[in-house]
C-alpha cells in the first residue's frame, strides 16, 4: 500500500468511556464484521479483560475504508493495554502509530487515566483527534467536556467529533477525521529492513505470533530475520493481518502493521520493543526505546490444598507461555508448604494472574503479602565482601548488622476526584508516607499529585481509595526511582515461633500499627488451645505489639459432641479434613484459613 493511503492510530480512553464499543463500530462500518459477529466485543478477548474493561495484549485490526475523497485507505487500529502496569507495552504500541483518537465520556469528562495516556501520546508526537462519546446520554455535556479537554490537556477540541458508539452516531465522521487529520507514516521500501516487535503472544495453532510495525524495507515469507536485541535468527513462515479475522498477506511493507510467525516456541524470545532486521544486509542500528521489562511487585502463590501443587506448576507454566513479563520460581514456606515466588509488573498484573489461575485453572490459592524490590547495601563481614543486593522476599532479609542502607521504589501518583472526597484522600496519602506535590481544581473536581513509596501502595491502597471515594476517584502512577528509607523486617511470632508467611518489610514509622493490626486479626483467627498462646509482632528481638489467646477449658469439647453418633462421625470427619489444612507453630495448630484471612489486609 502507498504510504499516503496508510493511517496508524490507537484509541486512548479512561476505562468505560467507550473505547471497545467505538472500535467495534469502526470495524463494523468498514465491513470487517457482520451484525451477528458484532455481538461479542472483538478487541478484548479474555474474560478478565472484558470484565475489567482493560486490554492486556495489544490487538491490531486492519480496516479498509473508502473515504469521501474516493480513495481506499488502510487503517491500522492498535488497541493498547489500558493500565499503568503495562506502561512499557503501551509506549511501544504508541510508538507504532502516528495518531490517536482520544475518547472522552460526554457525561464523565476527563479522568486521571485519560490524562496519563494522552500525555504519552503527545510525547510520541501523535496527532490527537478528540472524540466525545455517549452523547446519547441525558447527562451528556459535550460543550463542557470540550472546554475541559482544552483546559486540562491543552489541545484544541473545537472540532472534536461527537459520537454515540452505542447507537452508531458519528462513526463515519470519526473515520473521515482519521483520514484527514492523522498524518500518513513515512519509510523507505528499498532501505534495509527495520521493524519493531510491538507485541507477542502464544497461539496454540501458530506458536508465537509477533505483531510488527515495519519502518523501512519489507517483511515476506521465507525471509531470514534477526532480532537485534534478543540476538536470535528466525525464518519467517507466515505474514498477515487481522481484519479482525486472520488473513494471510504476501508482505508487510513500510509504514504497515501486521503479524508474522517464525517458528518461535517461547514468547520470551520475542521481546517487546526489539528491532527485527534481515540476517543479510541488515540495518546497522536498532530502533530506539528498547527496554528489558522487570518485575516490580512480588508475592508467593501457594495452593490451599497441598495436593494441587503439581497442577499449580503446570498452570503457571501455561500462563507464562503467553506472558513473558511474569516470572516465577519455586518457594517453600514452613507455613504454606510448596508454592512459587512470582514477579509481576504491578498490582493489577498480579491480580490478573491470580484470577486467571483460580478461574481458568480452578485453583484455590493463598497469596502472601505483596512486596516490592528493595536495594540493600551490605557492609563487609568476616566471611563476606561488601555487596549490593536486591530483595524481593522478606524471607531473604539479610543480617541487619551488615545493612548500611536500604532503598525502596517511589512512585508519582495522580489522583483525580470529586472534591467532596478530597479530605479523606489527602489523609490516606499522608498516612502512607506521601509527599504532596500539587493540588489543582478543575470544575467540581480536584487533581492531586503525590509522591508515595510503592510499598505503601501495594498495601491495600487501591481498595481504600475506592472505598473512601465510593469508586469515584481515579488513580494513575509512574515510577520515579529508589530512595533510602528506614525499613525493617517485622516478624510475627505465634507461641514464640516466627511464622514465615506473615513476615514483611515495613517502614519503622508504621511498623507498630501494622504489627498491632496483624496480632489483633490473628487473635480472632487462631482457635483456642489448652494453653495460653502469645501472639507477637517483633523487629529483631524487640516486641512491638502483643496479643494473647487465653486457654480453653477442658470440658468444652466433651460437651459439644453429645450422644448422636452420626453427628459425632460427621464432626470427626470434618476435623480430620481440617487437620490436613493445619500448620503447627510452637505446638499451636493454625488453620490454613487463618493465614488467608490474616494476609487479607483491611
Was 21 annotated as part of a binding site?
yes
Q: Which residue has the cell 464432626?
A: 571
Q: Please identify, using beta-carbon distances, which residue of 164 and 371 lies nearer to Mg ion.
A: 164
Q: Which residue has the cell 525502596?
A: 408
- Interface with ligand GDP includes 16 (CB under 6 A)? yes
Q: Which residues contact 119 (CB under 8 A, 6 or more apart)?
A: none
One symbol per residue from 132 to 171: x for binding ligand GDP (CB under 6 A), - otherwise; what is it? -xx-xx--------------------------xxx-----
Which entry of Mg ion, ligand GDP, none binds 601, CB below 5 to 8 A by partner kind? Answer: none
Q: Which residues contact 273 (CB under 8 A, 6 or more apart)?
A: 88, 92, 196, 197, 229, 287, 289, 290, 291
Was 134 annotated as part of a binding site?
yes
Alpha carbons 147 and 174: distance in angstroms, whole number: 20
Was 18 annotated as part of a binding site?
yes
Alpha carbons 290 and 531: distance in angstroms, whole number: 60
Which entry of ligand GDP, Mg ion, none binds 16, CB below 5 to 8 A by partner kind? Answer: ligand GDP
Alpha carbons 429 and 464: distance in angstroms, whole number: 10
Choose, by CB under 6 A, the member of 37, 38, 45, 53 that binds ligand GDP: 53
* Of 376, 393, 373, 372, residue with least CA distance to 329: 393
We find the least distance from the C-beta atom of residue 133 to ligand GDP, in angstroms, to be 5
> Cβ(550)–Cβ(523) under 8 Å?
no
The region of 15-23, 119-127, 334-342, 450-458 touching Mg ion under the rule CB under 5 A is 15-23
Integer CA distances (angstroms), 41 to 26, 45, 297, 355, 561, in order: 12, 8, 31, 21, 56
Alpha carbons 178 and 171: distance in angstroms, whole number: 11
Q: Please identify, using beta-carbon distances, which residue of 80 and 277 lies nearer to ligand GDP.
A: 80
User: Which residue has its beta carbon closest to Mg ion?
Assistant: 20
Give the CA dihedral 564, 565, 571, 576, nearest 10 degrees: 170
Alpha carbons 134 and 168: distance in angstroms, whole number: 10
- Interface with ligand GDP includes 52 (CB under 6 A)? no
Alpha carbons 543 and 557: distance in angstroms, whole number: 33
One symbol per residue from 116 to 135: x for binding ligand GDP (CB under 6 A), - otherwise; what is it? -----------------xx-
DSSP state of 164: B
* Of 147, 84, 30, 64, residue with least CA distance to 130: 147
Total residues binding ligand GDP (CB under 6 A): 16
Choose, by CB under 6 A, the member of 7, 19, 194, 514 that binds ligand GDP: 19
Was 19 annotated as part of a binding site?
yes
User: 297-303 and 275-278: which strand pairing?
Assistant: unpaired
The region of 15-23, 143-151, 232-240, 422-430 touching ligand GDP under the rule CB under 6 A is 15-23
We find the least distance from the C-beta atom of residue 208 to Mg ion, in angstroms, to be 25
We find the least distance from the C-beta atom of residue 204 to ligand GDP, in angstroms, to be 26
Integer CA distances (angstroms), 146 to 109, 178, 189, 533, 592, in order: 9, 19, 41, 63, 54
The region of 12-20, 321-329, 526-534, 586-594 touching ligand GDP under the rule CB under 6 A is 12-20
- Interface with Mg ion includes 53 (CB under 5 A)? yes
Was 133 annotated as part of a binding site?
yes
Q: Please identify, using beta-carbon distances, which residue of 136 and 172 lies nearer to ligand GDP.
A: 136
The region of 45-53, 182-190, 257-265, 574-582 touching Mg ion under the rule CB under 5 A is 45-53
Alpha carbons 195 and 283: distance in angstroms, whole number: 10
Which entry of Mg ion, ligand GDP, none binds 59, CB below 5 to 8 A by partner kind? Answer: none
Dihedral sign for Cα 474, 476, 482, 483, please: negative
Was 554 annotated as part of a binding site?
no
Query: Which H/E stretch holds residue 574?
Result: helix 565-580
What the block records as the C-alpha cell of 444 is: 467540581
- Interface with ligand GDP includes 325 (CB under 6 A)? no
Was 318 annotated as part of a binding site?
no
Which entry of Mg ion, ligand GDP, none binds 134, CB below 5 to 8 A by partner kind? Answer: ligand GDP
Which entry of Mg ion, ligand GDP, none binds 137, CB below 5 to 8 A by partner kind? Answer: ligand GDP
- Interface with Mg ion includes 21 (CB under 5 A)? no
The region of 12-20, 241-249, 379-387, 482-490 touching Mg ion under the rule CB under 5 A is 12-20
- Interface with Mg ion includes 20 (CB under 5 A)? yes
> Cβ(442)–Cβ(148) under 8 Å?
yes
* Preceding peptide of 547 cis, ω within 30°: no
Was 136 annotated as part of a binding site?
yes
> Cβ(357)–Cβ(301) under 8 Å?
yes
Was 364 annotated as part of a binding site?
no
Q: Please identify, using beta-carbon distances, which residue of 53 and 591 lies nearer to ligand GDP.
A: 53
The region of 16-24, 285-293, 529-537, 580-588 touching ligand GDP under the rule CB under 6 A is 16-24
Was 393 annotated as part of a binding site?
no
Q: Please identify, using beta-carbon distances, which residue of 19 and 226 lies nearer to Mg ion.
A: 19
Q: Please identify, using beta-carbon distances, which residue of 164 and 325 lies nearer to ligand GDP.
A: 164
We find the least distance from the C-beta atom of residue 21 to ligand GDP, in angstroms, to be 3
Which residues define the annotated binding site for GTP? 16-21, 133-136
Q: Which residues bind ligand GDP (CB under 6 A)?
A: 13, 15-21, 53, 133-134, 136-137, 164-166
Q: Which residues bind Mg ion (CB under 5 A)?
A: 19-20, 53
Amino acid at each position: 500500500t502507498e504510504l499516503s493511503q496508510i493511517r496508524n492510530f490507537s484509541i486512548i480512553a479512561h476505562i468505560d468511556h467507550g473505547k471497545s464499543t467505538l472500535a467495534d463500530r469502526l470495524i463494523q462500518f468498514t465491513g470487517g464484521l457482520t451484525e451477528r459477529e458484532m455481538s461479542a466485543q472483538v478487541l478484548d478477548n479474555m474474560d478478565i479483560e472484558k470484565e475489567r474493561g482493560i486490554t492486556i495484549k495489544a490487538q491490531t485490526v486492519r480496516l479498509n475504508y473508502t473515504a469521501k475523497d474516493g480513495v481506499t485507505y488502510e487503517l491500522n487500529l492498535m488497541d493498547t493495554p489500558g493500565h499503568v502496569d503495562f506502561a512499557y507495552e503501551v509506549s511501544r504500541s504508541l510508538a507504532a502509530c502516528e495518531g490517536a483518537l482520544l475518547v472522552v465520556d460526554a457525561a464523565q469528562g476527563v479522568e486521571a487515566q485519560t490524562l496519563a495516556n494522552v500525555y504519552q501520546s503527545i510525547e510520541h508526537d501523535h496527532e490527537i483527534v478528540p472524540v466525545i462519546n455517549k452523547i446519547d446520554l441525558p447527562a451528556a455535556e459535550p460543550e463542557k467536556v470540550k472546554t475541559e479537554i482544552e483546559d486540562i490537556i491543552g489541545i484544541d477540541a473545537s472540532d472534536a467529533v461527537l459520537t454515540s458508539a452505542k447507537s452508531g452516531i458519528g462513526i463515519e465522521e470519526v473515520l473521515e477525521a482519521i483520514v484527514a487529520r492523522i498524518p500518513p507514516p513515512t519509510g523507505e521500501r528499498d532501505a534495509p529492513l527495520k521493524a519493531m516487535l510491538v507485541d507477542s503472544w502464544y497461539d496454540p495453532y501458530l506458536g508465537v505470533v509477533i505483531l510488527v510495525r515495519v519502518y523501512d524495507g519489507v517483511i515476506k515469507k521465507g525471509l531470514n530475520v534477526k532480532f537485534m536485541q534478543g540476538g536470535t535468527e528466525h525464518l519467517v513462515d507466515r505474514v498477515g493481518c487481522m481484519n479482525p479475522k486472520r488473513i494471510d498477506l504476501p508482505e508487510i511493507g513500510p509504514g504497515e502493521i501486521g503479524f508474522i510467525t517464525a517458528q518461535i516456541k517461547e514468547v520470551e524470545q520475542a521481546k517487546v520493543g526489539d528491532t527485527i532486521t534481515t540476517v543479510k544486509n541488515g540495518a546497522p542500528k536498532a530502533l530506539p526505546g528498547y527496554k528489558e521489562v522487570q518485575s516490580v511487585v512480588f508475592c508467593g502463590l501457594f495452593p490451599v490444598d497441598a495436593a494441587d501443587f503439581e497442577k499449580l506448576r503446570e498452570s503457571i507454566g501455561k500462563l507464562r507461555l503467553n506472558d513473558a513479563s511474569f516470572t516465577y520460581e519455586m518457594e517453600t514456606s514452613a507455613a504454606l508448604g510448596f508454592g512459587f515466588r512470582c514477579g509481576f509488573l504491578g498490582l493489577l498484573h498480579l491480580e490478573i494472574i491470580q484470577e486467571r489461575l483460580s478461574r481458568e485453572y480452578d485453583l484455590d490459592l493463598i497469596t502472601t503479602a505483596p512486596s516490592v524490590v528493595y536495594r540493600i547495601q551490605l557492609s563487609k563481614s568476616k566471611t563476606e565482601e561488601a555487596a549490593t543486593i536486591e530483595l524481593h522476599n522478606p524471607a531473604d532479609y539479610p543480617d541487619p548488622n551488615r545493612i548500611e542502607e536500604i532503598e525502596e521504589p517511589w512512585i508519582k501518583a495522580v489522583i483525580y476526584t470529586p472534591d467532596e472526597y478530597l479530605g479523606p484522600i489527602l489523609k490516606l496519602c499522608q498516612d502512607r508516607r506521601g509527599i504532596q506535590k500539587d493540588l489543582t481544581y478543575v470544575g467540581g473536581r480536584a487533581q492531586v499529585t503525590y509522591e508515595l513509596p510503592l510499598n505503601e501502595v501495594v498495601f491495600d491502597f487501591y481498595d481504600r481509595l475506592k472505598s473512601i471515594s465510593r469508586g469515584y476517584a481515579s488513580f494513575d502512577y509512574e515510577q520515579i526511582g529508589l530512595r533510602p528509607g528506614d525499613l525493617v523486617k517485622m516478624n510475627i511470632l505465634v507461641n514464640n515461633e516466627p511464622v514465615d508467611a506473615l513476615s514483611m518489610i515495613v517502614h519503622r514509622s508504621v511498623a507498630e500499627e501494622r504489627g498491632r493490626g496483624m496480632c489483633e486479626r490473628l487473635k480472632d483467627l487462631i482457635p483456642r488451645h489448652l494453653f495460653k498462646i502469645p501472639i507477637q509482632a517483633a523487629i529483631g528481638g524487640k516486641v512491638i505489639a502483643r496479643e494473647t489467646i487465653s486457654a480453653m477449658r477442658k470440658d468444652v469439647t466433651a460437651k459439644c459432641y453429645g450422644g448422636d453418633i452420626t453427628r459425632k462421625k460427621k464432626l470427626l470427619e470434618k476435623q480430620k479434613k481440617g487437620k490436613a489444612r493445619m500448620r503447627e507453630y510452637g505446638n499451636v495448630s493454625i488453620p490454613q484459613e487463618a493465614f488467608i484471612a490474616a494476609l487479607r489486609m483491611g
